[in-house]
Amino acid sequence: MTATPGLGTPRLASPDLLRSVFRRHAAGVAVITARGDAGPVGFTATSLTSVSADPPMLSFGIGTGASSWPAVSESEHVGVHILGEHQQDLAATFARSGADRFGAATAWREGPEGVPVLDDVQAWLVCRVVARVPAGDHRIVLAEVAVGDSTGPGRPLLYHQGRFHGLGD
């Protein structure tokens, strides 16, 4: 293998290398919610991926050490919310460990299948969990879309270089 001119010194695979590379990858921001035994749970995710059109299916990753994992590991249904650029504070709340994610500042309602559905998002889906695939310290959750709405306001929220951003023109 020959070196490509202009590239830095390669580093061996590590968690730090992976995080460093993916900080450069701009990603849409979603919040995943579920109904837990002690109430609603949720977390900010940038790992949301469309998997199949027929049947409509998606995937997302969640760490097994995450506070939301116990509920997501047992839930039959989850909510998937695409955030708009006007929702940076909401994204930060759901990303912050120990935050009161469903407190007074978060507008939400109980949706289909009892799943917490956030208000004022660009789009939302309620999905039936079909698999939880082990992937290192995470699980990849595969979920089939049951119902949703794609008519929310605004432009998408992005995550890049460790911060939330609006979509530039």
pLDDT at 168: 75
The yes-or-no verdict on residue 126 having pLDDT over 90 is yes
Region 92-107 average pLDDT: 95
> Which residues on adjacent β-strands are paired with residue 41?
34
**Exposure on the CB side of residue 67, measured as CA atoms within 13 A:** 15
pLDDT in tens, 20-66: 988 888 999 999 999 999 999 999 999 999 999 999 999 999 999 99
The yes-or-no verdict on residue 159 having pLDDT over 90 is yes
- Structural tokens at position 61: 């990753």
CA distance to 4, 9, 10, per residue, from 1 (Å): 9, 14, 12
pLDDT at 133: 98
